[in-house]
């Protein structure tokens, strides 16, 4: 048997919801392997920050086992004198066994990586909230931690700067073979930078796997909705095939005789006649697609097309490209 190295492991960790507003956890088991990046996602109140604080030792769970092989660094916004300059703050974070000249070089290297070299001589009180976030992160990385916890980093940065800083951060983490667990609400960022995504709901793990598994093979309706799918149709089995609004079709095996057909927003074709007569109520551009939202028999539908298909109030006949659709077991 091959035993893979890990940094930290949780087994059946539980925490009751309490009057302080701390989100509970219900039997969470999770292993963080060395050198991996894991994104922690879920709705507000699902337990993401609570899980980070348990890993950091700031909250004790009611029950469960936690195994740690390394010290954990939870990047926060510490209280720092506003008169302390940025470089002195970074040097103060270096381990005591590191020579001063090495500490100065480390501070310059990290400032260059995270693009605040010109702020090294500035006082901490002169920095914007976003700049402080970068400095605090560099102040943790300069200690050469093996496991880093991040709770929605760089929320104060504009999208372009945020993208550049995240790219620099995760490039640094991979080169140093660090392990990182981060909370984010941005699915595109989680999919781009993470090896694994853990999705929480009401303190339970609803899905855990690679970004591809989460996005292309959601295990239930909640996961599908969270990852951005909007169109769901009940279907029933007819022999070896499934009955849909558009006739019978075959899909990968799904247990049971009833399931939900998921139609991706981009998988619709506009046809001359179809059982689905879709009335457009709202349209807007998203990236390079026209997104049209409307109703079909009292049910909300969303489609995306390269060109604007019609005007609000008009009807469209729709047919899905069935090869791009999939089933979710009820």
Question: What CATH number is given to the structural domain containing 272?
Answer: 2.40.50.140
- The pTM score is 0.87
pLDDT category of residue 5 using cuts at 50, 70 and 90: low
Listed in sequence order, the residues at least 6 apart from 276 whose beta carbon sits closer than 8 Å to its beta carbon are: 245, 296, 301, 317, 318, 319
Mean pLDDT of all residues in 181-197:
94
Q: Map residue 319 onto helix, strand or coil.
A: strand
Alpha-carbon distance 289 to 217, whole Å? 23
Q: Map residue 51 onto helix, strand or coil.
A: helix
Tokens of 201: 């709901």
pLDDT category of residue 201 using cuts at 50, 70 and 90: very high
The count of domains in the chain is 1
**CA trace torsion 153, 158, 163, 165 (10° rounding):** -60
Alpha-carbon distance 118 to 210, whole Å? 38
Query: Residues of the chain with pLDDT > 70: what percent?
Result: 97
> Over 80: is that where the pLDDT of 245 sits?
yes
Per the domain annotation, does 59 fall within a domain?
no
> Over 60: is that where the pLDDT of 28 sits?
yes
Alpha-carbon distance 216 to 325, whole Å? 10
> Over 50: is that where the pLDDT of 2 sits?
no
Per the domain annotation, does 252 fall within a domain?
yes
Per the domain annotation, does 269 fall within a domain?
yes
Q: Centre a 10 Å sphere on the Cβ of residue 25 and count the other Cβ atoms it contains.
A: 28
> Over 70: is that where the pLDDT of 62 sits?
yes
pLDDT in the model for residue 1:
36
Per the domain annotation, does 310 fall within a domain?
yes
pLDDT category of residue 69 using cuts at 50, 70 and 90: confident
Mean pLDDT of all residues in 26-41:
94
- Rounded to the nearest 5°, which phi and psi values hold at 165? -70, -40
CB-CB contact of 224 with 201 (8 Å): no
Alpha-carbon distance 152 to 40, whole Å? 10
Per the domain annotation, does 69 fall within a domain?
no
Alpha-carbon distance 225 to 208, whole Å? 16
Cα distances (Å, whole numbers) of residue 50 to 26, 60, 71, 236 = 12, 10, 18, 40
Query: Residues of the chain with pLDDT > 90: what percent?
Result: 62
* Element (DSSP H or E) covering residue 75: none
Mean pLDDT of all residues in 46-59:
91
Per the domain annotation, does 302 fall within a domain?
yes
CB-CB contact of 80 with 92 (8 Å): no
Q: Map residue 296 onto helix, strand or coil.
A: strand
The rounded mean pLDDT for the chain is: 89
What's the domain range around 314? Answer: 229-329
pLDDT in the model for residue 21:
63
> Over 50: is that where the pLDDT of 329 sits?
yes
């Amino acid at each position: 048997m091959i035993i893979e190295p890990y940094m930290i492991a949780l087994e059946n960790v539980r925490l009751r919801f309490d009057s302080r507003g701390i989100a509970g956890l219900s039997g969470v088991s999770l292993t963080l392997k060395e050198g991996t990046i894991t994104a922690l996602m879920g709705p507000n109140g699902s337990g993401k920050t609570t899980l980070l604080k348990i890993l950091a030792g700031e909250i004790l769970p009611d029950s469960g086992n936690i195994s740690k092989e390394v010290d954990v660094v939870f990047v926060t916004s510490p209280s720092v004198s506003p008169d302390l300059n940025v470089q002195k703050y970074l040097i103060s974070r270096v381990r005591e066994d590191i020579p001063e000249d090495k500490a100065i070089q480390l501070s310059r290297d990290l400032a260059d990586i995270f693009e605040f070299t010109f702020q090294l001589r500035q006082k901490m009180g002169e920095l914007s909230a976003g700049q402080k976030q970068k400095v605090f992160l560099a102040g943790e990385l300069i200690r050469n931690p093996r496991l880093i916890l991040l709770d929605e980093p760089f929320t104060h940065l504009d999208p372009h700067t945020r993208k550049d800083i995240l790219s620099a951060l995760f490039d640094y983490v991979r080169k140093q073979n660090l392990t990182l667990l981060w909370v984010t609400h941005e699915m595109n960022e989680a999919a781009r930078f993470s090896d694994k995504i853990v999705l929480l709901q009401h303190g339970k793990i609803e899905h855990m796997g690679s970004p591809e598994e989460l996005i292309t093979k959601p295990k239930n309706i909640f996961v599908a909705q969270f990852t951005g799918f909007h169109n769901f149709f009940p279907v029933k089995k007819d022999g070896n095939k499934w009955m849909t609004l558009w006739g019978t079709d075959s899909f990968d095996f799904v247990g049971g005789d009833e399931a939900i057909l998921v139609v991706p927003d981009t998988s619709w074709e506009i046809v001359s006649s179809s059982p689905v007569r879709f009335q457009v109520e709202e349209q807007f551009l998203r990236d390079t697609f026209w997104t049209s939202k409307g109703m079909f028999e009292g049910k909300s539908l969303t489609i995306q097309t390269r060109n604007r298909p019609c005007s609000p109030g008009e009807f469209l006949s729709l047919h899905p490209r069935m090869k791009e659709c999939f089933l979710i077991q009820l």
